[in-house]
Structure 1
């Protein structure tokens, strides 16, 4: 039998951030780029859509009108999944049927007044203004006594559940720490207690040494395909400096972060020559009043496209019943993305 090869043989990879495992099966996809390469008709959107409830001056579903905003615009979601006024309540039947009320606030951020511009098409200065808004909202929402986590994210494209093509993101701030950040808190805390350093700081140093999964590098950030990536072209942006949250970014680092976001999302658009769909979001320290020195600021990108603009990865079968699985290796995916930079 030949010696074990990550690029050839089935294996499991450990996600140090969540403590979970993924099955990698590279032999199933020797040449993954030889899938469908059909042309997708590009959607041409106007700069302003009179029927869009996110465009400046237009009426939203609740009857309110948007201001004639010129940069970014933030408002409380008219159909938010969380509500700020929820009565306290809980029940527990034999430890099996547990319920607890949840308070929170959901907001929408229109990145630009223009209906036709997504992040990769926006100017770096305009993306920087979005980051300023993220920073302000994180501070304001996180300072509320009942908010213990602020999740900033974007769903881009209808395939990722976006109900409106106008470039926008969301913020869900709530009284509990959601499942994914909670798992990352546990893993990062355990590592910090044992090593006295950030898990992602040491992980990033390893990645910079190996260089196999690096996609983009700027002065303050690194974008890479995680060793444990689940989605075909999943990436993570990690700050080089060990900081806990977006409030600790310097003015120079915010400029750099804007450049990184534009660069990475532009690479995605080049991959299959389409406005690339994804779910992306910041992961940062909880706002529960604790210091959280273990936390390291980062941003996840989870895109679903696999071989072309219309061939998507779905979580089905074994992945729903066992654990996540992928065919193309993270190393191959990183090389493909890197070649487009």
Structure 2
């Protein structure tokens, strides 16, 4: 399956087949010819995993035992996310790339075969399901030693367009209910590959945090007639003290009830349900604020901060009138050499306790000299 597709901002997507039948998608701005073949031997792909219900909290748990054997912190010369060069045959057959997205080699979720439906929740007697969904890897750059903050504004624009494109396409799948692009950075939060990259998880169910956000948003809309997240942003603008960056299309702030030592929410001032709703003006204005936020985060202690940067957006089929797109960046680093561990209260009870006031971390982020 080889095809091309023109996207916004002059970006061209080229699809190629990998040796084992997975798809790799190149997002380019200079009309590159993408014709390199995946020369690796064909490997059998893992079977779809199980989906089990934890009836005590009505949460779905995906069982993906095949992921135990995935590659773990390889040296740079064996990185599977670098371009293919010489005898190093990687996931990307080309010798260079801008942004690429490909189907995960060891996916937690994978497309089902035939008719598929989520089992009905009936407590301990809930049927065993299959872990339907889609897991993709998105590489930000061919440069192994770089990070998101090192990308050019033009590259961030390509990356954003790739996120938008994948959200649009995955939303067309009948078995997909929610799409979550995210980036993990740093061994402290479990990164297994250090090349600058993220992932896109497309779930066949609505994840627990999204369910809670949806319930809160629906309740607020019913009682007030207003959209909860819009009111949250309005409060941050009124208070000012937690805002760390802003332009005419986006705002970045530390939330009033932050859970982590450093937590930043980046939201479009033109509220939309998901990434596909962003206008061309929104898309063009994202890179400056995104890069500023990441540079401020690393600048707090002058070290590379471990973080999770996740896009929150409305599910594919519900809540699109009450949930809003925003980018949440969280770091467990509270000081050089010190982490906030999610221990008894946080991990066992789900009750977060903050060691510092959000206004304090916002001030530290604002004071970073760029």
- The whole-number CA distance in structure 2 between the counterparts of 1:58 and 1:65 is 10
* Higher deviation after alignment, 122-131 or 249-258: 249-258
From 271, 280, 285, the equivalent of 1:256 is 285
Q: Which residue of 2 aligns with 1:77?
A: 104
* Higher deviation after alignment, 293-302 or 192-201: 192-201
1:215-234 map, 5 Å: 215-234=244-263
Q: TM-score, normalised by structure 2?
A: 0.73
Classify 1:81/1:59 alpha carbon distance in 2 versus 1 (closer, same or farther; 3 Å): farther
- The whole-number CA distance in structure 1 between the counterparts of 2:193 and 2:368 is 28
SS of the counterpart of 1:236?
strand
* Structure 1 residue 286 corresponds to structure 2 residue 315: yes
Deviation at residue 49 of structure 1 after TM alignment: 4.2
Cα contact 1:59–1:65 (8 A) shared by 2:
no
> Any stretches of 5+ residues in structure 2 without a counterpart?
1-74
Q: Which residue of 1 aligns with 2:362?
A: 334
SS of the counterpart of 1:306?
strand
Deviation at residue 60 of structure 1 after TM alignment: 12
Deviation at residue 89 of structure 1 after TM alignment: 7.8
* Structure 1 residue 175 corresponds to structure 2 residue 204: yes
- The whole-number CA distance in structure 1 between the counterparts of 2:288 and 2:314 is 23
- The whole-number CA distance in structure 1 between the counterparts of 2:90 and 2:146 is 25
Q: Which residue of 2 aligns with 1:120?
A: 149
From 189, 197, 209, the equivalent of 1:160 is 189
Classify 1:65/1:97 alpha carbon distance in 2 versus 1 (closer, same or farther; 3 Å): same
* Structure 1 residue 130 corresponds to structure 2 residue 196: no
Q: Which residue of 1 aligns with 2:52?
A: none
Q: TM-score, normalised by structure 1?
A: 0.79
- The whole-number CA distance in structure 1 between the counterparts of 2:199 and 2:255 is 24
Q: Which residue of 2 aligns with 1:30?
A: none
Aligned length: 292
Cα contact 2:82–2:90 (8 A) shared by 1:
no
Q: Provide Cα deviations, 1:296-320, integer angstroms capped at 9, x if missing partner.
A: 1111111110011x21000112333
SS of the counterpart of 1:331?
helix
* Higher deviation after alignment, 151-160 or 183-192: 183-192
Cα contact 1:215–1:224 (8 A) shared by 2:
yes
* Structure 1 residue 324 corresponds to structure 2 residue 352: yes
Cα contact 1:192–1:294 (8 A) shared by 2:
yes
SS of the counterpart of 1:50?
helix
Deviation at residue 122 of structure 1 after TM alignment: 0.9
Q: Which residue of 1 aligns with 2:331?
A: 303
Classify 1:114/1:65 alpha carbon distance in 2 versus 1 (closer, same or farther; 3 Å): closer
Cα contact 2:255–2:358 (8 A) shared by 1:
yes
Deviation at residue 201 of structure 1 after TM alignment: 1.1
Classify 1:158/1:59 alpha carbon distance in 2 versus 1 (closer, same or farther; 3 Å): farther
Cα contact 1:59–1:66 (8 A) shared by 2:
no
Q: Which residue of 2 aligns with 1:144?
A: 173
Classify 1:94/1:208 alpha carbon distance in 2 versus 1 (closer, same or farther; 3 Å): closer
- The whole-number CA distance in structure 1 between the counterparts of 2:121 and 2:184 is 36
Cα contact 1:62–1:78 (8 A) shared by 2:
no
Classify 1:296/1:91 alpha carbon distance in 2 versus 1 (closer, same or farther; 3 Å): closer
Cα contact 2:81–2:90 (8 A) shared by 1:
no
- The whole-number CA distance in structure 2 between the counterparts of 1:266 and 1:49 is 24
Cα contact 1:52–1:58 (8 A) shared by 2:
no
Classify 1:63/1:50 alpha carbon distance in 2 versus 1 (closer, same or farther; 3 Å): closer
- The whole-number CA distance in structure 1 between the counterparts of 2:111 and 2:265 is 31
- The whole-number CA distance in structure 2 between the counterparts of 1:60 and 1:128 is 32
* Structure 1 residue 204 corresponds to structure 2 residue 228: no
Structure with more relative contact order (C-alpha pairs < 8 Å, separation 6 or more) = 1
Deviation at residue 78 of structure 1 after TM alignment: 0.3
Classify 1:94/1:220 alpha carbon distance in 2 versus 1 (closer, same or farther; 3 Å): closer
- The whole-number CA distance in structure 1 between the counterparts of 2:287 and 2:98 is 15
